[in-house]
Amino acid sequence: MEAITWDVHTSSEELLVEVCIKAEKENGHYSNYGRGYVMVKISDDIAVKIGGLVTATDIIPRIARIIAHLGQIQGGQVPGPVGGGLAQGHLFGDDGADVIFTSVSGFNTYLNKRLAIAKKTIDLSGHPLVLCHLDLGRRNVILGDDDTISLVNWNDAGLYPRFFEVRVLSYVNYRCGPFDTPLDEDITTFWGLTEEEKRLMDLMGILFKAVGGNFIILQVLFFCIFCYIFGALFQQDSHTHNLTVAFVDYDGGAIGAAVRDAYRQLQGNKFPELIELSPLQYSQPSILESKVCHIDFWAALYISPNASNRLAEGLTGGTSSSSYNRSDVLSFIWNEARYSTTADSVAIKLQDLSEAARIAYSNTNGAAVLQTLPAGDAAAISVFSDPWQLVSINLQPTSQGSRLIYNTLVIILILLQEFFYLGIINGLYAKFKVYGRIRPGRIVTVRLIISILYTFVGSLCTTGAIWAFRGGWDVNGKQFVLTWMSLWLFAHLNFLTFDVFSVWLPPPMVPMALVTWVMLNITSILLPLALSPRFYRWAYALPTHAIYNLLVDIWSRGCNPSLYYALPVMFAYELSSLTLSTLGVYRRSHYGFLELEKEEKAFQAKVAESLATAREDSEGESRERRRPERGEEEGEADVGDEEAGVVVPTHRRGTITTLADREEMAGRIWRETTQLRQDRSRTEADANFGGPCFELTFNNK
């Protein structure tokens, strides 16, 4: 320590840091880093506070005066960046605002949409737009050597109400109370913020919390979705051994031995498992074809009977070599319509096995064959160099380019098609206030008819598009109808599922539920579940996995039997979603009726109040017009017999003064205005292309 001299007035900050580091090693420190700073004892008389929360207190009033000065720079009535463009900054999220503001009212609308989650509103009219930095964190404040203060990073700056600057401070200086709190207080003092501005600041705080909360929720949601999708695809090659291939050796000779040797070399997690079956149990290739068709195996490899003997004869030369049939040795049966890319990879693996078997055959039998191979016989040499060709027996060739999107984009578009039309239906029902006015049973019936017709036409269009671009794919009219009906059921159950989301989930959560539902379903058919970790086997319960396997069954003419589980899964979703959707209609109708009842009572009270006020005003005017003539006031009139002296008093009634008369008038006005509202509702419905509108089920006649 004695080797370093340091003076507070002349030494540099770097020297102070060096002194503090050495002093901390020798003397230790007070406090702890959890509070944002440490106290380092340099000597008995000097201690230095260092850390992230240490701020020169004389800077804060100066920054406050700078902000107050910026708050005096006004710039018209268009909020946002100076010169226009999309607003950026902490208030608008990572990607900034999604619209360009052109007026304060438009900015109000933007903010109120986001405050709706907290059931709050904000009104910025009457608050001038001033220049705001909106990112005054300590990192953006530079104290120069000449004691001047510079503000940097003006990317978020723009014209906003002045209290925006104050509200943002606590977010850009998170966990920095020694800087944020005094600066906030000084700015408030300089500006003399009104109570209204302070109230709006609190609303902006709610908005920041809503933005921050949704920021976290969406980040977590999409992170989980990405992890789920990538997890399903993670190391899929290492699960290739879960794909099984049947092997039957009808020959029982050298070729079968070569295939076994080749498989032992290739066997592993990244190669399909070869399961050898007895030729006595599977005496015909047609039995193997049935096994592949019933998805017991992904493929079946077999060696033709007497293939080894024919190959040996073909190596002797002469007519035996020239007539040798390479295609009658090794064959495999497969179904390309079943997850086309995976089926193609299995076919490639079997090609590799065939090539490895040829090499194994040459290594085992090559020396003996060369001793007897006719040197001048080209046909015999050709047989030796290429003893067989692997023959493919494809149950349903599926090589068209559009096959790549059958289990991705086609399904996604079907789901989005249902979701967006459901949004239109719900919007029309809300616009015309159908809930509460129509009997729930009628609403359920109409919505069900609409959904059935819409999904009927939508599935027809989807099937037509698949058939229009099938590119030589061997499918017929019967398969077209079956595909159409299957997609119709799938589309309708998803329509009902999305309706359940819209009824039982809070509105801000519905888009998140849509994204989650779509991604979970698509992940279930990206690959065969055999290539994913076992955890993903739960996806058998998802309707998309059921419909895709059902479509493969239809397209390959029954060679992917899945009706036994696909239809129960889809009908389970259909019935459960229909039940919950129906209950949701009754729930909406209940709240809709309460809302209408509330409006009616408020309207009746307003009419009665207005009528009473009008009658009181009319009575006052009548009293002023009366003449103070005693005879008229008493209103005496002689009737009948003058001798009897019978006098009947009469009263002039220019207005309705009794409570019964007032209630009668209010009821009459209410009935008339109700009829007018009914007529107007029908007129609006007709003008909006026939939105759902029926006669009201109740009135106050």
End-to-end CA distance of the chain: 98
Examine residue 643 and state whether it is found in any structural domain, yes or no. Answer: no
Residues 243, 604: Cα–Cα separation, whole Å:
73
Considering the domain architecture, whether residues 510 and 434 belong to the same structural domain is answered as: yes
With b meaning 16 or more CB within 10 Å and e meaning fewer, what string describes 494-519? bbbbbbbbbbeeeeeebebbbebbbb
151 by Cβ neighbours in 10 Å (0-12 / 13-18 / 19+) ranks as middle
Q: What is the pLDDT of residue 689?
A: 31
Considering the domain architecture, whether residues 330 and 437 belong to the same structural domain is answered as: no
Examine residue 478 and state whether it is found in any structural domain, yes or no. Answer: yes
Examine residue 544 and state whether it is found in any structural domain, yes or no. Answer: yes
Considering the domain architecture, whether residues 205 and 271 belong to the same structural domain is answered as: no
Examine residue 223 and state whether it is found in any structural domain, yes or no. Answer: no
Residue 606 pLDDT more than 80? Answer: no
**What is the domain extent for residue 22?**
13-50
Q: What is the dihedral of CA 669, 673, 674, 675, to 10 degrees?
A: 110
CB neighbours of residue 49 within 10 Å: 14
Integer angstrom CA distances of residue 265 from 205, 258, 261, 262, 625: 67, 11, 7, 5, 118
CATH of the domain at 122: 3.90.1200.10
Task: Please give the residue that has the higher pLDDT: either 395 or 174.
Answer: 395
Considering the domain architecture, whether residues 353 and 428 belong to the same structural domain is answered as: no
Residue 6 pLDDT more than 50? Answer: no
Examine residue 113 and state whether it is found in any structural domain, yes or no. Answer: yes
Return left, alpha or beta for 427; rule: phi > 0 is left, psi -120 to 50 is alpha, else beta. alpha
pLDDT band with cut points at 50, 70 and 90 for residue 414? very high
Considering the domain architecture, whether residues 362 and 426 belong to the same structural domain is answered as: no
Task: Calculate the average pLDDT of the chain.
Answer: 80
47 by Cβ neighbours in 10 Å (0-12 / 13-18 / 19+) ranks as middle
Instruction: Print the SS3 string covering 596-634.
Output: HHHHHHHHHHHHHHHHHHHHHHHHHHHHHHCCCCHHHHH
Considering the domain architecture, whether residues 412 and 539 belong to the same structural domain is answered as: yes
Examine residue 296 and state whether it is found in any structural domain, yes or no. Answer: yes
Considering the domain architecture, whether residues 281 and 329 belong to the same structural domain is answered as: yes
pLDDT band with cut points at 50, 70 and 90 for residue 597? confident
Torsions phi, psi of 141, nearest 5?
Answer: -115, 120
Where a domain ends, among 551, 585, 619?
585
The DSSP H or E segment spanning 301 is strand 299-303
Contacts of 64 (CB under 8 A, 6+ apart): 183, 186, 187, 189, 190
HSE, side-chain direction, 13 A CA sphere, residue 456:
6
The lowest-confidence range among 26-35, 74-83, 261-270 is 26-35
Considering the domain architecture, whether residues 322 and 460 belong to the same structural domain is answered as: no
Where a domain ends, among 521, 550, 585?
585
- Mean pLDDT on 278-292: 94
Contacts of 224 (CB under 8 A, 6+ apart): none
Residues 405, 408: Cα–Cα separation, whole Å:
5
Task: Please give the residue that has the higher pLDDT: either 20 or 283.
Answer: 283
What pairs with residue 132 in β-bridges?
Answer: 158
Torsions phi, psi of 602, nearest 5?
Answer: -65, -40
Q: What is the pLDDT of residue 672?
A: 56
The lowest-confidence range among 91-95, 163-167, 505-509 is 91-95
Considering the domain architecture, whether residues 456 and 576 belong to the same structural domain is answered as: yes
Residue type, position 220, single letter: V
Contact 303, 311 (CB under 8 A): no
The DSSP H or E segment spanning 669 is helix 659-687
Contact 33, 54 (CB under 8 A): no
Query: Strand runs (DSSP E) across 376-462, as ranges?
Result: 391-394
pTM to 2 decimals? Answer: 0.67
CATH of the domain at 369: 3.40.1710.10
Contact 237, 270 (CB under 8 A): yes
pLDDT band with cut points at 50, 70 and 90 for residue 282? very high
Residues 413, 421: Cα–Cα separation, whole Å:
12
Considering the domain architecture, whether residues 155 and 277 belong to the same structural domain is answered as: no
Where a domain ends, among 369, 395, 421?
395
Q: Tell me 533's DSSP state.
A: -
Torsions phi, psi of 330, nearest 5?
Answer: -125, 125
- Mean pLDDT on 323-327: 93
Q: Coil, strand, or helix at residue 392? A: strand
Examine residue 657 and state whether it is found in any structural domain, yes or no. Answer: no
| Cα 65 off chain centre by | 46
Residues 323, 317: Cα–Cα separation, whole Å:
10
Considering the domain architecture, whether residues 325 and 423 belong to the same structural domain is answered as: no
Residues 95, 86: Cα–Cα separation, whole Å:
9
The lowest-confidence range among 20-29, 281-290, 456-465, 578-587 is 20-29
Considering the domain architecture, whether residues 385 and 241 belong to the same structural domain is answered as: yes
Examine residue 533 and state whether it is found in any structural domain, yes or no. Answer: yes
Residue 28 pLDDT more than 70? Answer: no
The DSSP H or E segment spanning 29 is strand 29-30
The lowest-confidence range among 18-27, 87-96, 490-499 is 18-27
Structural domains of the chain, count: 4
Angle at 690 between CA 684 and CA 696, to 5 degrees: 65
Q: Tell me 80's DSSP state.
A: B
